[in-house]
Amino acid sequence: MSQYTKQEQEPASGDIAEVAPGILRLQLPISMPGLGHVNCYALEDGNGFALVDPGLANEESFHHLVTRLDAAGIPIERVHTAIVTHSHPDHFGGVYRLRQVSNCEVLTHQDFRSLFDRREAEQSEDSEDLALASDEDLERMRSRWTRPTPWGGVVEPPPVSELRRFIDQAPQRRRLFALPEPSRTVDDEDVVMFARREWVAVHTPGHTGDHLCLYDPTEGVLLSGDHVLPTITPHISGMVDAPDPLAQFFESLRRMHTLDSVEVVLPAHGQPFADLGGRADAIIAHHLERLDVIRDAADDFPTGTVDDFMKVLFKERSWGSMAASETYAHLEHLLVLGEVGADVDDHGMRTYEFL
């Protein structure tokens, strides 16, 4: 038995596996909460290779990418396209270094670009050289980085000591998180050619607004990114532009049933699996249960804040900004369903009341 309870936590394997016709899987190490690796898929055609989700932006990840490509017999200069499933750093990060070597195209969903513009605008105001900043400077910056949340209260940056460690470890960290600029974007149902066959772009907002899956009806393959993972559910953040990201996620999951020729799902984390519709339903059921947990809490909290309900939904070790934003997404879903009302007090604190 593996010491890891979830496939997605397993450390990156050095093995190169052919997981579908013309598709190799290379695993790259990442260490993020609950994740031990990201799957990078190499799709071969007569012109070279497309790589799906080439890992994090750090040198260690790039080193592993180069080593794995080498083991797979893929000259890195032959990578003509980086396909990025969504705007999270374990998926797009490797693009920057990859492009330096191979000058590849970067393909994303078309909404990726608008996010890029917004982030770039945010970053340009922060031009200080962080590595040279004193503790006092960092303390001052902390208050600037403290952002109000849509539900009241604030998301606080880590304490200065932790920030310092963060900065020392990666002086160019801002670059590590800077979104690459796509050179080619697709919209839902666009058809693209990879691995010598046609793939249909499937826009799957939920985990992020720009999430893209690629569906290959010929061989029955779905590159599912983080949209449908084998044993964990992706984080649903309430801090997005859409009024009800959970409803979007449900819709994107239900849509998996329309991809009826899928025989193998290739997720960004964990092992390939077969039952796409069943897994999508299980993820929907998980969130419906979470909504019921909130409904059941109505006896204790006829009215409550996001923090109140977060403490009902999550174990104490998970409390924090991610748990809060996921709770917020669930409460906003109940609001759209008309089951709760929302009120904002003078301090911007949002409270929900069961109707």
Looking at the Cβ atoms of 84 and 334, the one nearer to Zn ion is 84
Minimum separation from the CB atom of position 285 to Zn ion (A) = 22
Give every CB contact of residue 183 below 8 A, 6+ residues apart in sequence. 105, 106, 107
CB of 207 to Zn ion, least distance (A): 8
What stretches of the chain show up as alpha helix (H) in DSSP?
59-71, 89-92, 95-102, 111-124, 135-145, 160-169, 173-177, 245-254, 276-296, 306-313, 321-337
Smallest separation, CB 203 to Zn ion (Å): 17
**Closest CB to Zn ion among residues 90, 244:** 90
The answer to whether the CB of 105 falls within 8 A of the CB of 183 is yes
Between 32 and 355, name the residue whose CB sits nearer to Zn ion: 32
Q: Does 226 bind Zn ion (CB under 5 A)?
A: yes
The interface region with Zn ion, picked from 197-205, 224-232, 249-257, 323-331 by CB under 5 A, is 224-232
Closest residue to Zn ion: CB criterion: 226
Minimum distance from residue 296 beta carbon to Zn ion (Å)? 31
Q: What is the number of alpha carbons within 13 Å of residue 144 lying toward its C-beta?
A: 11
Q: Residue 251 CB, nearest distance to Zn ion (Å)?
A: 20
Q: Which two tokens stand for residue 62?
A: 């790039």
213: helix, strand or coil = strand
The smaller minimum CB distance to Zn ion, of residues 90 and 210, is found at 90
Picking from 230, 295, 273, the residue whose alpha carbon sits closest to that of residue 10 is 230
| Closer by beta carbon to Zn ion, 31 or else 103 | 31
Site map for Zn ion, 251-280, x if CB under 5 A? ------------------------------
CB of 235 to Zn ion, least distance (A): 9
- Four-residue CA torsion sign, 7, 37, 119, 167: positive
Residues 64-123 that bind Zn ion (CB under 5 A): 90
173-201 burial, b at 16+ Cβ within 10 Å, e below that, comes to beeeebbbebeebbeeeeeeebbeeebbb
Q: Which residues bind Zn ion (CB under 5 A)?
A: 90, 226
